[in-house]
C-alpha cells in the first residue's frame, strides 16, 4: 500500500514538473522561432536552427499532450475503474508517449553534435560523441521495440536492460560533447583575453554562463541524476523523468535563442587561428620619466593607450 501511495505521489509530482517545464519551454520556443524567422544573414545556420526548433517544438508538444492524457487516465479514470489504467500501461498512448520521449532525445543530441561540428569542425576528437550517438540510436530502437510489445510494462527487466544503456549513452554523448565544447571555449576565451581581438559571443555575459548554455550541460547534469534512479526502478524516478523530458528540449533551445540573437558561436569564430591573434599592446619601456604631451589633447599618454586597447 505504501509503495502504491509513493508511486501515485511521485506520478503527480511528475505531472506538475512536466507542466511547469513545458510552460517555460513554450515561451522560450516561441521567442526562439520568432527570432530565427526575423533574423537576417547567415542563412544556412539560421535554417538549421529553425528546422531543429520547429521539430523539437512538435515532438515536445505531442509528448506533453500524451502525458496530459496519461495523467487524466491515472488520476481521474483509474479512480473510477482501475482496469482502465492497467490496460493503458502497454497501450497506444503509452507507446506514443515513450516514442516522443526517445525521439526528443535523439533530436536534441543530434543538435548538440551539430554544435560540436560548428566548434571543432572535422577534428578527429569529434568522432567519439558521434560514435556514442550511433550506439544510443541502436539502444533507443531496442527500447521502443520492447515497450511496444503486448503486455510490456515500464519498469520490467527487459525495458530496464535497454533503457539503462540508452540513457547512459545519451548522457555520455552529452557529457563528451560538453567537455569538447567547454574545453574549446576555455581555450578561445583565454586567447581572446590576451589579444586585442574582441568577439561579441564572449562578451557581455559571464563566461561560465556562456559555456553552460553553449554546451547544453543542463541536460547532462539532469541525466546523470536520473540514470541510477531508473536503474533501481524507484518511484522517485518519475519527477526526474519529467524533468529530463523537459530539459532535453530546453537546453538546445537556449542555444538556438543565442543563435537568433546573433550571439552564439559560429564556425567562422571556431576557425580563427589563435596563433595569429595579435597580442595586447604593451607600452615600450621608457628611459625617461618625462611626460610627453599628446598633440591636440590634454590626455596623458597612459589614458590614450587605454582607449586604444
Q: Please name which of 100, 102, 116, 99 lies closest in space to residue 216, comparing C-alpha atoms.
A: 116
Give DSSP secondary structure letters for 45-88.
HHHHHHHHHHHHHHHHHHHHHHHHHHHHIIIIIHHH-HHHHHHH
Domain layout of the chain by residue ranges: 2-280
Angle between helices 43-72 and 92-120 (to 10 degrees): 160
Within a 10 A sphere around the Cβ of 189, how many other Cβ atoms? 16
Question: How many whole angstroms separate alpha carbon 108 and alpha carbon 247?
Answer: 10
Low-confidence ranges of the chain (pLDDT < 70): 1-6, 41-42, 77-90, 151-155, 188-216, 263-309
pLDDT for 197-231, tens place per residue? Answer: 555 544 444 555 666 666 567 888 888 898 888 88
pLDDT for 31-85, tens place per residue? Answer: 999 998 887 766 777 888 899 999 999 999 999 999 998 888 877 766 665 555 6
Q: What is the pTM of this model?
A: 0.75
Grid cell listed for 229 = 534512479
Q: What is the CATH number of domain 2-280?
A: 1.20.1070
Amino acid at each position: 500500500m505504501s509503495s502504491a501511495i509513493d508511486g501515485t505521489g511521485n506520478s503527480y509530482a511528475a505531472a506538475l514538473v512536466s507542466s511547469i517545464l513545458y510552460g517555460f519551454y513554450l515561451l522560450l520556443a516561441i521567442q526562439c522561432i520568432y527570432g530565427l524567422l526575423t533574423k537576417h544573414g547567415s542563412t544556412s545556420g539560421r535554417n538549421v536552427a529553425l528546422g531543429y526548433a520547429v521539430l523539437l517544438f512538435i515532438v515536445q508538444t505531442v509528448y506533453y499532450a500524451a502525458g496530459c492524457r496519461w495523467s487524466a487516465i491515472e488520476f481521474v479514470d483509474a479512480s473510477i475503474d482501475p482496469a482502465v489504467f492497467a490496460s493503458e500501461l502497454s497501450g497506444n498512448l503509452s507507446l506514443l508517449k515513450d516514442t516522443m520521449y526517445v525521439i526528443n532525445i535523439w533530436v536534441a543530441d543530434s543538435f548538440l553534435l551539430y554544435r560540436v561540428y560548428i566548434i571543432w569542425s572535422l577534428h578527429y576528437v569529434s568522432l567519439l560523441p558521434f560514435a556514442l550517438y550511433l550506439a544510443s540510436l541502436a539502444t533507443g530502437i531496442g527500447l521502443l521495440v520492447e515497450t511496444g510489445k503486448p503486455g510490456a510494462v515500464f519498469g520490467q527487466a527487459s525495458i530496464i536492460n535497454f533503457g539503462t544503456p540508452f540513457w547512459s549513452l545519451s548522457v555520455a554523448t552529452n557529457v563528451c560533447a560538453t567537455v569538447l565544447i567547454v574545453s574549446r571555449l576555455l581555450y578561445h576565451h583565454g586567447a581572446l583575453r590576451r589579444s586585442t581581438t574582441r568577439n561579441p559571443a564572449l562578451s557581455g555575459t559571464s563566461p561560465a554562463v556562456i559555456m553552460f548554455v553553449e554546451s547544453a550541460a543542463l541536460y547532462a547534469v539532469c541525466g546523470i541524476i536520473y540514470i541510477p534512479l531508473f536503474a533501481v526502478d524507484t518511484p522517485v524516478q518519475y519527477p526526474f523523468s519529467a524533468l529530463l523530458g523537459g530539459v532535453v528540449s530546453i537546453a538546445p533551445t537556449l542555444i538556438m535563442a543565442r543563435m537568433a540573437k546573433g550571439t552564439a558561436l559560429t564556425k567562422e569564430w571556431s576557425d580563427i587561428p589563435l596563433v595569429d591573434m595579435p597580442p595586447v599592446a604593451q607600452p615600450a619601456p621608457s628611459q625617461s620619466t618625462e611626460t610627453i604631451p599628446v598633440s591636440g589633447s590634454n590626455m596623458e599618454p597612459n589614458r590614450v593607450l587605454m582607449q586604444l586597447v
